[in-house]
Structure 1
């Protein structure tokens, strides 16, 4: 679990609800079905119009990474590469073939298969880099779904506020309804700005950071696999790959 994301989500909720209470608006002042309909459903509608289906599905799938990111196994991967290079230098590249079925990562398994098959290092690099870039492009597009929601939500909040004020203007003859109507109008603005800055935009940034980290790990794997294919000294491989940690 990402403890920072959990703390951030809790503090964001406390700040919003606590601020409303301290300002005298109360918790009930934050609830407005009309504002929810305009801002939240409107934001979802806008992002559905913008996003291809495969990107939207991917966004839903990786949204869990905000609180439960994929494990970071850089040190373990380096140790594994050094172990494989030692085995390959002693027994040849074919000695790595039994290890293929043990790899759960399709990217790593594909790269190791090419090493075992004796594919030229330049070809290995080219093929794996193409696949890595495709992975990154797909996941960045998914992260941008939440970024787009963070852009649309404040604007829809303003629309909700304007619609609320229009309703207030129709009741100018009844002063008793003005205060409540104006408060309800500005609730939509809170929904828009609050959801964008406390949820959608932070989620997009967090996901982009995770995608970048995964890209670096794939780059490290590519370098390690090529070094094994070229028969490089295990110590040199370890030193080279350690640079990716920093």
Structure 2
């Protein structure tokens, strides 16, 4: 189960991501055609292999296997949008606070097994077990921060790819020029070499600025949303442990909502 699913988010296709890629790459292709160029001039297999393989290799060297797997999993989520159940989670927490206020914390115990969110389930179990609030906060804040660091490491994979791709594109350009210089006497090979040189640069810069870096930024935003929901759950559990009034619990948890969610 992914982190997005654990946080109660249902995934749908993210139109903004797909539309952004269409507009970005489509604009480059349209500009090339308007300048009198042809699609075939941008279709260079050699340049594509150099940039793609070089970028992948550099990312693999700079990242751990775990970070690579996390980055790939998060990339799938970046191409989808999520319907957050954060407001339902608030309602759930407020209901538990009413029950605890009306009866006692022990009245929550029979319901813990039916709690949908794993983090909320663990927090409530700690509350029912009578663990000190400061200890609960220390335990789960550390857990939340650790999970956030792991997810951000996955996002960094794409940011790194955005940093490496332009440089790999330049390497492809240099290789193309080397090929050109080695065949100055054979004019039939000059055009192909020059094409690889310039197209490799286009591939590197465009993939970095239209795909890798924007993808990394979108993943970071989703990670922050996941963390914010986890912080809401922890805060709600601690307020239940402290015997807070359900109205106060609801008001404080609503502060975690964005203006759109409100």
Give the shorter-chain TM-score range: over 0.9
* C-alpha contact 2:100 2:108 (8 A) present in aligned 1: yes
Q: Which has the larger displacement, 17-26 or 111-120?
A: 17-26
* C-alpha contact 1:20 1:29 (8 A) present in aligned 2: no
TM-score by length of 1: 0.94
* C-alpha contact 1:29 1:184 (8 A) present in aligned 2: no
* C-alpha contact 1:153 1:196 (8 A) present in aligned 2: yes
Matched, 1:162 2:174: yes
Matched, 1:171 2:186: no
Unaligned runs of 5+ in 2: 1-12
Aligned with 2:84: secondary structure?
Answer: coil
Alignment partners' CA distance in 1, 2:28 and 2:102? 62
RMSD value, Cα: 1.5
Match of 2:147 among 129, 135, 141: 135
Alignment partners' CA distance in 1, 2:113 and 2:19? 39
Alignment partners' CA distance in 2, 1:108 and 1:189? 49
1:23 corresponding residue in structure 2: 35
Cα deviation for residue 70 of structure 1 reads 4.4
Structure 1's consecutive aligned runs of 4 or more residues displaced over 6 angstroms after TM superposition are none
1:242 corresponding residue in structure 2: 254
Cα deviation for residue 42 of structure 1 reads 0.6
Aligned with 1:24: secondary structure?
Answer: coil
1:84 corresponding residue in structure 2: 96
Matches within 5 A, 1:75-224: 75-224=87-236
1:63 corresponding residue in structure 2: 75
Q: Higher helix share goes to which structure?
A: 1
Matched, 1:35 2:47: yes
CA spacing shift, 1:179–1:149, aligned 2, 3 Å: same
Q: Which has the larger displacement, 99-108 or 75-84?
A: 99-108
* C-alpha contact 2:55 2:165 (8 A) present in aligned 1: yes
Matched, 1:49 2:41: no
Q: Count residues in correspondence.
A: 246
* C-alpha contact 2:119 2:233 (8 A) present in aligned 1: no
| Deviations 1:51-95 (CA, angstroms, capped at 9, x unpaired) | 111111111111111122444222222211111101111121222
CA spacing shift, 1:115–1:69, aligned 2, 3 Å: farther
